[in-house]
Amino acid sequence: MRKEGFPYAFNPSKCESCEGRCCTGESGYIYVTSDEILALANLLKLELQVFTESYLYKIGYKYSLKEVVTNDSHDCIFYDRPSNGCKVYEARPTQCRTFPFWDYFKQRVDELKDECPGILDD
Ligand code: SF4
Ligand code: SF4
């Protein structure tokens, strides 16, 4: 898989064996917009307030998904280790849908390769 303007390609078949490295590991923000929050709450059939209190925290004027802290990892609250999958896949945020093609990584391909085994040289 390629995307114009990016100096690398991506092999999504690597996701089956990588154990969600983009959904786990170091702590990081998983930003969600107000539309995405509504979509996630609808998917889980939760009132907005209940969803917000259970799954989000505020960073300045934005919201991020919470993490679950284990011994050696910060897992996204929606990452399911037993199935190696996302519990809200259909409504996952844009930040997740667009990984690994983020502008941030255009100049940081080595950093991306360390995180994602699906990255190939273009
Ligand atoms: S880190 Fe890369 S290979 Fe692993 S699940 Fe995420 S996108 Fe797939
Ligand atoms: S919402 Fe899903 S795809 Fe996004 S970080 Fe969490 S588990 Fe991964």
Q: What ligand is nearest to the CA atom of residue 39?
A: 2
- State which of 11, 14, 23 you would mutate to test the pocket of ligand 1, scoring each by most atoms of that ligand within 8 A of its C-beta: 14
Mean pLDDT computed over every residue of the chain? 95
How far is residue 17's CA from residue 114's CA, in Å, rounded to a whole number? Answer: 15
Which contacts of 61-69 are long-range, i.e. CB under 8 A and separated by 24 or more positions?
62/29, 62/31, 63/31, 63/32, 63/37, 64/29, 64/30, 64/31, 64/32, 65/30, 65/32, 65/93, 67/27
- Does ligand 1 have an atom closer than 6 angstroms to the CB of 93? no
pLDDT of residue 11: 96
Percent of the chain past pLDDT 70, that is, above it, reads 100
Identify the residue with better confidence: 19 or 49. Answer: 49
Is the pLDDT at 122 greater than 90, yes or no? no
- Ligand 2 center to 28 CA (angstroms): 12
pLDDT of residue 105: 95
What's the pTM?
0.91
121 pLDDT band, cuts 50/70/90, is confident
74 pLDDT band, cuts 50/70/90, is very high
pLDDT of residue 71: 82
pLDDT of residue 40: 98
